[in-house]
Amino acid sequence: MYRKSKIVAITVLLVGFSFAEVSNSTNAFDFETIELDARQVALGGASTLLPSSGTTHWGNPALLATSSKKSIGIAFSPLSSDISMGGLTTTFKLPNGISLAPSFRYLSVGEIRGLDNNGNELTQSISPYSLDGGVTAGYQWMENFSTGLSLKYVYEFLSPELESISSETEASALLADGGIYFLPTRNIALSAGFKNAGLFLKEYENENSDLPVSVYSGIRYFTKGISQSSLILECEKEKNYPAIIRPAIELQFLRELLSLRVGTSASTDDIRHFFDIIKGNTDEPQTYTKSESQIISVGAGLAVPLQDKTVSFDFATRILGDNMGINFAFSGGFIF
């Protein structure tokens, strides 16, 4: 039988975003943890402190309330030759001050030939995919404090062409993201929240899997003027995996017309192991497994003002560790 865990393993290997497990469980709906927006990708996955973007609420729902304008956002990321992600969203504000944003995202894994229980390659193939659709609501309680909540329906389908697969072909869940965005001073922004909390509607049978629930916090120091700069540091802890630290820098020129970005990420296990090496302890502890996070991400963006409207385009590339290759991400928006 073609096991769902085989597909998850292949997908994670190709995408290159898995981290060392710390329990016997694995997390379902892996695509919910992969950054799609090019601005977020360029900053190494830092995604909870980035206002002024049509897709910014994918990282932190509270950011939706930081703009009073309507917008349309689209994103696409070819993760490999046959794996791709994409998404579409639109935002608007109701008369009572609540901002809303319906959105849709997908992951297509392409065609995969798996292994049977004896380790032999199957002659047939499957084409797994994942989808999510939902709505985000954000509210700005004060000029410097916003909250937000996203509710989404997530569906994962293995698209089997094998008659032997019957009970393990699909899973679905209702998930929620929640967050806050706070400006304690004119140059510092803070974020905190959770992602992917909820419940399974349908689970893969015979699989010990959990939802990819995580909690995060972040701080951003920024300057304003003709040229602007942001120093970002975020931390996110996903269930069953070590915490991830994401430092990043964004430089903006000509009043945000041009942006340059760079970022990276590493697990707390990676950081601990690095300092062990600095101290001269080169023995590989049995509890340490090197993460397969990106070595570095870089990107750029253009935000062209057209009277009271703005058209934006962002590009990012991320170099993965362990010779896993390079990924690209593209996103654009129209704010009006």
Model confidence pLDDT, tens digit, residues 19-31: 434 444 566 788 8
Rounded to whole angstroms, the Cα distance separating 104 from 159 reads: 20
CATH of the domain at 142: 2.40.160.60
CB 35 within 8 A of CB 24: no
Instruction: Report the share of the chain in percent with pLDDT over 70.
Output: 79
| Secondary structure letter of residue 119 according to DSSP | S
**For residue 307, is pLDDT > 80?**
yes
The arithmetic mean of pLDDT across residues 279-308, rounded, is 75
Radius of gyration for the alpha carbons in the chain, expressed in angstroms and rounded: 20
Residues 292-312 have a mean pLDDT of: 87
**Predicted confidence (pLDDT) at residue 300 exceeds the cutoff of 70:** yes
Per-residue model confidence (pLDDT) at position 131: 95
Average pLDDT over residues 240-256: 91
Who contacts 160 (Cβ-Cβ below 8 Å, separation ≥6)? 2, 126, 169
Under 8 Å between Cβ of 232 and 250: yes
Instruction: List strand residue ranges (DSSP E) for 18-128, in order.
Output: 26-27, 71-78, 84-93, 99-108
pLDDT of residue 134: 97
Count Cβ neighbours within 10 Å for each residue of 237-260 and write b for 16 or more, e otherwise: ebbbbbbbbbbbebebeeebeebe
Give the rounded percent of residues in the chain with a pLDDT score beyond 90: 52
Predicted confidence (pLDDT) per residue in 84-123, tens digit: 999 999 999 999 999 999 999 999 987 776 666 777 776 6
- Domain extent at residue 138: 4-335
| More reliable by pLDDT, 246 or 255 | 246
Total count of residues recorded for the chain: 336
In angstroms, the Cα distances linking 236 to 166, 190, 327 are 36, 14, 21
Q: Tell me what the mean pLDDT of segment 228-252 comes to.
A: 93
Q: Which of these, 19, 36, 9, lies nearest to 239 by C-alpha position?
A: 19
C-alpha–C-alpha distance, residues 58 and 251, integer Å: 22
Task: Give the pLDDT of residue 326.
Answer: 85
pLDDT at residue 240, as a whole number: 84
Please list, in sequence order, all residues whose beta carbon lies within 8 angstroms of the beta carbon of residue 143, skipping any fewer than 6 positions away: none
Q: What is d(CA 59, CA 50) in angstroms, rounded to the nearest whole number?
A: 8
CA distances from 333 to 73, 154, 254, 304, 309 (A): 4, 24, 19, 10, 11
Taking 80 as the threshold, does the pLDDT of residue 50 lie above it?
Answer: yes
What does the pLDDT look like over 166-183, one tens digit per residue? 456 788 999 999 999 999
Q: What's residue 203's pLDDT?
A: 84
Asked which of 12-26, 156-170, 213-227 is least confident by mean pLDDT, the reply is 12-26
Residue of 292 and 299 predicted with greater confidence: 299
pLDDT of residue 289: 61
CB count within 10 Å of CB 91 equals 26
Q: Is a pLDDT exceeding 80 seen at residue 148?
A: yes
Collapsed DSSP state (helix, strand, coil) of residue 117: coil
Cα(150)–Cα(34) distance, integer angstroms: 17
Mean confidence (pLDDT) of the chain: 83
Q: What is the pLDDT of residue 268?
A: 85
Domain count, the chain: 1
Highest mean predicted confidence (pLDDT) among 13-17, 49-53, 76-80, 208-212 = 76-80
